[in-house]
C-alpha cells in the first residue's frame, strides 16, 4: 500500500506565491540561479541555492553557505511571509504546460516505505549531492522541495482529485516566467479520508524526479534517530504523486567534448562501419534511432532493434553508451567522465548545435525519450537506469509547500 499523511505546510501568502516559487535547486547551476533570482529577494533560490548570495569563489559546501541558507530562510519567512498552516492538510497540485496537464496529490509519504522499496527508485545517487541536501535539510529543519512521484492509474484517486479541483477555489494560481501554470488547492475535510483510502490501494510509487531529496530525507531521519530523536515529522518526506499516464518524459541528450584521436570524418566512418547512418532530423522519430550532430550536420544512426537482455540494457541511452560512447570514444563511465555533458528537457536540439558549433563539444547525440512504462518496468525489477536517462517536464516549484521537521 501507499501511505500518505496530511502535513502542516509552511507556505507563502497568496500574493507572494509567484515571486517565491523557484525551479528545483538541481536543474540550474549557480550562474543560472543568480540570473533567475536577480532583482527578486523573495525567490526561493536564495534558500535552496544560498551560494548565489555569497562570493563567486566560495566553496558551495562550506559552513558559510548553510549559514546563509538559514539566514535567507528566516528572512523569507518574515518578508513573504511564509506561514505554517494551523491544521495538517493534503493538497492537489496541477501543472499545465502547453497541451500537458497533470494533477497530483501533495502530501508526506512514508520513509519506511521508501526504505522497503514500496517507493521505488530507478537511479543511483551521488554521495556529495546526498551530503549537501542532508545538511541543507537539517540546517533548515525543513524539507523545502517536493519529490516528484508517479503511480499507476487508480480511478478512485482521480475521482476524488477531480472533486477537489472542481469544488474549491485554489490557494495559488499563477503562470511562471517559463509559461508553466501552477495551481494548488487545499483538500477539504470531506475529501481527505477518501483520498488517503484510495492511495492505500496503490501497490507502489515510483520516484520520477528527486532521488537525492528522498535519499537525503532518509539520511536525515537516521541522523536524528542516532541523536536520540523519537518518531516524528522526520519519518516522512514531502512529495507530489501524479498518475503515470499524465506525465511526460523528454529526452536527455549527450554532448561529448572530443573525438579522442579521430577527425570528424574518421569518427563518422567508424560509426558507419557498425551501423546504418543517413541524413536525418535533429530529433529521432522512433526508438532505436539516435540523431548525431557532427561537423554542422545531423545524421540518424539506426541502432537496430534490441530484443534481448534486461530492460535497462535495451534502452537507447544504454545502447548508445555500450555501442558508441564506450568503444569508439573511450567514455567508460558517464557518471564520472569529464568528457561528457548532458542536456535535458526544453533546452532542445538548438543548444546541441550551438555547443558543437561554438567548440564546446565535438559531437552531440539527440535521444528518443524513455517511456514511463520502461521506467516503471525497470524499477519493478529492481533495475537502475543509466545516469541522465529521463527529464520530466513540467517541473514542480520549490517554496510553495514546505514540510517543517
**CA 311 from centroid of its chain's CA atoms:** 22
Give the dihedral sign, CA 21/369/245/306: negative
Res 167: pLDDT? 95
From 159, 154, 229, 254, select the one nearest 405 (Cα to Cα): 229
Block means of pLDDT (10 residues each) for the chain, 405 residues, are 93 98 94 96 98 95 97 98 96 96 97 96 91 97 96 95 96 96 97 97 95 96 89 91 95 96 96 96 95 97 82 93 96 92 87 97 97 94 90 96 96
Length of the chain: 405
Domains of the chain by start residue, with CATH: 4-249+393-404 (no CATH), 252-368 (3.30.1760)
Res 202: pLDDT? 95
Please, is 184 exposed, middle or buried when counting C-beta atoms within 10 Å of its C-beta (0-12, 13-18, 19+)? buried
Identify the residue whose cell numbers are 540523431.
291
CA distance 379 to 384: 7
DSSP code at position 22 = B
Cβ-based neighbours of 46, under 8 Å, separated by 6 or more: 37, 52, 53, 72, 76
From 171, 140, 172, 9, select the one nearest 75 (Cα to Cα): 140
1: which strand partners? none
Res 126: pLDDT? 87
Cβ-based neighbours of 188, under 8 Å, separated by 6 or more: 164, 167, 168
CA distance 235 to 113: 10
CA distance 366 to 388: 13
CA distance 396 to 255: 26
Res 310: pLDDT? 83
From 246, 91, 96, select the one nearest 170 (Cα to Cα): 91
**CA 251 from centroid of its chain's CA atoms:** 13
DSSP code at position 368 = P
Cβ 339 vs Cβ 332: under 8 Å: no
The cell numbers describing 117, all together, are 522499496
CA distance 44 to 145: 10
pTM comes to 0.93
Classify 379 as helix, strand or coil: helix
CA distance 325 to 362: 13
Identify the residue whose cell numbers are 550536420.
297
Cβ 226 vs Cβ 331: under 8 Å: no
Amino acid at each position: 500500500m501507499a501511505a500518505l499523511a496530511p502535513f502542516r505546510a509552511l507556505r507563502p501568502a497568496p500574493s507572494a506565491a509567484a515571486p517565491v516559487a523557484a525551479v528545483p535547486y538541481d536543474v540550474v547551476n549557480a550562474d543560472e540561479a543568480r540570473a533567475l533570482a536577480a532583482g527578486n529577494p523573495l525567490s526561493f533560490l536564495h534558500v535552496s541555492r544560498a551560494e548565489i548570495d555569497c562570493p563567486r569563489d566560495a566553496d558551495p559546501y562550506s559552513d558559510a553557505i548553510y549559514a546563509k541558507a538559514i539566514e535567507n530562510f528566516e528572512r523569507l519567512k518574515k518578508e513573504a511571509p511564509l506561514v505554517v498552516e494551523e491544521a495538517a492538510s493534503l493538497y492537489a497540485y496541477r501543472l499545465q504546460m502547453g497541451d500537458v496537464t497533470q494533477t497530483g496529490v501533495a502530501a508526506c509519504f512514508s520513509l519506511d516505505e521508501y526504505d522497503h522499496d514500496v517507493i521505488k527508485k530507478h537511479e543511483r545517487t551521488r554521495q556529495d549531492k546526498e551530503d549537501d541536501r542532508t545538511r541543507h535539510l537539517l540546517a533548515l529543519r525543513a524539507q523545502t522541495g517536493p519529490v516528484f512521484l508517479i503511480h499507476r492509474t487508480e480511478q478512485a484517486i482521480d475521482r476524488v482529485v477531480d472533486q477537489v479541483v472542481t469544488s474549491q477555489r485554489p490557494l495559488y494560481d499563477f503562470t511562471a516566467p517559463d509559461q508553466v501554470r501552477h495551481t494548488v488547492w487545499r483538500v477539504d475535510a470531506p475529501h481527505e479520508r477518501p483520498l488517503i483510502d484510495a492511495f492505500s490501494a496503490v501497490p507502489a510509487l515510483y520516484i520520477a524526479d528527486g532521488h537525492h531529496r528522498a535519499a537525503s530525507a532518509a539520511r536525515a531521519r537516521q541522523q536524528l534517530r542516532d541523536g536520540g530523536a523519537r518518531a516524528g515529522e522526520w519519518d516522512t518526506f514531502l512529495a507530489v504523486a501524479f498518475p503515470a499516464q499524465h506525465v511526460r518524459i523528454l529526452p536527455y541528450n549527450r554532448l561529448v567534448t572530443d573525438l579522442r584521436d579521430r577527425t570528424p570524418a574518421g569518427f563518422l566512418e567508424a560509426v558507419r562501419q557498425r551501423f546504418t547512418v543517413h541524413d536525418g532530423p535533429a530529433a529521432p522519430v522512433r526508438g532505436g534511432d539516435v540523431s548525431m550532430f557532427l561537423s554542422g550536420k545531423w545524421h540518424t544512426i539506426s541502432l537496430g532493434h534490441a530484443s534481448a537482455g534486461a530492460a535497462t540494457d535495451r534502452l537507447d541511452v544504454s545502447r548508445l553508451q555500450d555501442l558508441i560512447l564506450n568503444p569508439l570514444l573511450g567514455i567508460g563511465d558517464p557518471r564520472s567522465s569529464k568528457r561528457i555533458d548532458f542536456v535535458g528537457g526544453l533546452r532542445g536540439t538548438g543548444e546541441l548545435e550551438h555547443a558543437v558549433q561554438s567548440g564546446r563539444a565535438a559531437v552531440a547525440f539527440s535521444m528518443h525519450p524513455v517511456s514511463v512504462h520502461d521506467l516503471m518496468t525497470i524499477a519493478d525489477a529492481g533495475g537502475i537506469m543509466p545516469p541522465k536517462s529521463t527529464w520530466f517536464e513540467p517541473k514542480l516549484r520549490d517554496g510553495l509547500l514546505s514540510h517543517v521537521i
